A = this chain, B = another copy of it.
């Protein structure tokens, strides 16, 4: 999952069998290798953004329970899995960039409380593209989204899943996605 495809063209990606493809792209959507495995059916891809669109389209085509299921595969930000050391490599990096690896005790407690309220309200964890955020944004967005209507919040959260996926794909291809998010 941590392999970089900088030197790899789409021809190489398009020639991968499904095992190789899932090995490389299996965590573009957190802990959902099923989605990479499904996207492989759509090969060949014209470029990395075409590949990103297929990940997004698969998520959009899921029934609502499946979309909620995708979200439930993401960890709480600075939550249980960070403290247990069981974050995926991608998620750990994202935590680090957002400054979430070293919260003070009060900030940590406050975030845990907000995460818990969010999960109780929506039935899935708070998901945010942490690499595009800092601590302040995380707290502000969590407090704001906690009060959104459920249907809107589901769409917002899936939008974050897609942003995270695009960033992870861009990493794998060694491109800068910033201008296009």
Contact = CB atoms under 8 A, between A and B. Distances in A.
Given A119-B17, A123-B41, A33 B65 contact: no
Interface stretch (A69-77, A97-105, A127-135, A162-170): A69-77
Nearest to A22: B72
A34 B73 contact: yes
A85 interface: no
Nearest to A29: B34
Contacts of A123: 18, 41
A42 interface: yes
Q: What number of copies of this chain does the assembly contain?
A: 2
A65 B32 CA distance: 14
Main secondary structure of the interface of A (DSSP, over half): helix
A66 B57 CA distance: 12
A62 to B, nearest CB: 8
Interface residues of A, number: 32
A61 interface: yes
B119 A38 contact: no
A119 B40 CA distance: 14
B34 A35 contact: yes
A38 to B, nearest CB: 3
A167 to B, nearest CB: 20
A29 to B, nearest CB: 8
Interface in A13-31: 17-19, 22, 31
Contacts of A153: none
A68 B37 contact: yes
Interface of A: 17-19, 22, 31-42, 58, 61-66, 68-70, 72-73, 80, 119, 123-124
5 contacts: A18-B72, A18-B124, A37-B69, A39-B69, A41-B68
